[in-house]
Structure 1
Amino acid sequence: MKLAICHLYPDLLDLYGDRGNILTLAARCRWRGIEPVIQKASLGEDLDFMGMDILFIGGGSDREQGLLVQDLMRRENELRKAIENGLVVLSICGGYQMLGKYYQMTNGERIDGLGILDIWTIAGAKRLIGNVVVELDEKKSSGNSNKFRTMVGFENHSGKTYLGEGISPLGKVLFGHGNNGEDSGEGVRHLNVFGTYLHGPLLPKNPHLADLLLELAIQRRGVDTSLMELDDCLEDLAHKAMVKRLLKQA
């Protein structure tokens, strides 16, 4: 089996080691005998969203966001159709914000988003920085390979994201700030789209989430199979140690 994984704008959106998410997905495919086909696509390049299995969009600055939204607007219909068809999307920080309605900067200027998610972001007066522990919503993170009910990562954002009616967060913040530092929510899941502020990178710290993305991508192909279990002893110990250490500080 092959899985097509697209890293969108890797030259412009790659804060805090975000490309490590692609490396993790690729490695966990290879260890199971699945061939990862990695596409790196930037401004103006042809994209076949329907032909992708997983789309990854990382984080970047406000300036880069404005440029990239303009590029994506040309293909918004195709991306929306692929998402409605079950395309698995992982979007981090700036990539997460771009999928929403708009980003309002400190001067009041708004950068229009794609409007695929009913969310919007407003620049805050201070940055929300630090390690994060999230208690995952079981309905949003269920999967055969999901070992933990928690997610850990690192956030650094001034944008405060709010969710519209009918949209719920990926989980509840136990330590850190999350979407906006006000409502205890972190991230969002809509269909197979996962949005989050967690860098670090995210997936090496949360291999159970990486496997959930792979499972969803395989299921979308109509293949009824479970992923082979991997020896994640070290990864599991690191995850549990981080959760334990941070919750002691809460």
Structure 2
Amino acid sequence: MKINICHLYPDLLDLYGDRGNILALAARCRWRGLEAAVERTSLGDALDFRSMDILFIGGGSDREQGLLVEDLMKRREELKAAIADGLVVLAICGGYQLLGEYYQTSNGEKIPGLGILDVWTVAGDKRLIGNVAVELKPRNPVNVSDLQTLQTLVGFENHSGKTYLGKDVLPLGRILAGHGNNGEDGTEGVRWHNIFGTYLHGPLLPKNPHLADLLLELACERRGYFLPLPGLDDQLEILAHRTILERLVGTK
């Protein structure tokens, strides 16, 4: 079986090791005997969202976000249709903001987003930086075959944008340590359909193998494969995750 993974704008959106998420997804496919076909596309390249199983959008600057919205706006309806059909999307920081209604800069200018997610972002007067721990929302269970399933995420954030969620979406999780979406309401990220938006860099997936497997399982289900993925020996990954969690929040 082949999993088609698209890394969108890798030359423009790759802050804080974001491309490590692609490496993690490809490795976890390979270790299971699955083929991971990774396509890297940039400005002006042909895109066929229907052929994708997982779409990854990383983080970048405000200037880059404006360029990318202009490029993607031409294919907005195709992307919306693919998302409605179950396309799995992982969007981090600038990529997360890009899917929202707008980003308002410090001088009041509104950079339009794609308007796919009911979220919006406003530039803050300070950067929200540091390690983050998140408790996943009950509506977003991470069910993988590993016996030591984790219900938390750990990562690193560095953003000045403050994102707020509208009534049509729910957060990915609740902040245990760090700032999250805006440093005010205790939320982090968003999950809507199979879109996962978050501010967690680091990269995210090597530190959270359970989330990587959830993305892969959702992609497989969309293609009609409903069996759980074969388990992997994630003892080291889980130990690393729990060690970070212990340092941040004291959870045993």
**TM-score, length basis structure 1:** 0.98
For the pair 1:196 / 2:202, whether they are aligned, the reply is no
For structure 1, which segment, 115-124 or 221-230, has the greater mean C-alpha deviation from structure 2 after superposition? 221-230
Q: How does 1:1-250 map to 2 (within 5 A)?
A: 1-145=1-145, 147-248=149-250
The RMSD of aligned alpha carbons is 1.1
Cα distance in 2 for residues equivalent to 1:202 and 1:22: 10
- Secondary structure of 1:66's aligned partner: helix
Aligned-residue offset at 1:248: 3.6
Q: For residue 222 of structure 1, report the CA deviation from its aligned partner.
A: 1.1
Q: Hey, what's the Cα distance between the residues in 2 that align with 1:144 and 1:65?
A: 34
Q: Deviation of residue 145 (structure 1)?
A: 4.2
CA contact (8 A) 2:137 2:173 kept: yes
Give the distance between the partners of 1:122 and 1:179, measured in 2 at CA.
Answer: 11
1:233 maps to amino acid: Q
Aligned partners of 1:224, 1:80: CA distance in 2, in Å?
24
CA separation of 1:160/1:145 partners in 2, compared to 1, >3 Å: closer, same or farther? farther
Task: Report the AA paired with residue 73 of structure 1.
Answer: M
- Give me the identity figure in percent: 69
> If the length of structure 2 is used for normalisation, what is the TM-score?
0.97
| Partner amino acid, structure 1, of 2:9 | Y
**Contact 2:142–2:210, Cα closer than 8 Å, also in 1:** no
Distance 2:144 2:21 in 1: 20
Question: Runs of at least 4 residues of structure 1 off by over 4 A?
Answer: none
Higher mean alpha-carbon deviation, 73-82 vs 145-154, is at 145-154
Q: Which runs of 5+ in 2 are unaligned?
A: none
Gaps of 5+ in 1: none
Q: Does the aligned pair in 2 maintain the 1:141–1:212 contact within 8 Å?
A: no
> 1:174, 1:164 → 2: CA distance?
22
CA contact (8 A) 1:143 1:215 kept: no
Residue correspondences, number: 249
Distance (whole Å) between structure 2 residues aligned to residue 38 and residue 91 of structure 1: 16
Partner secondary structure for residue 216 of structure 2: helix
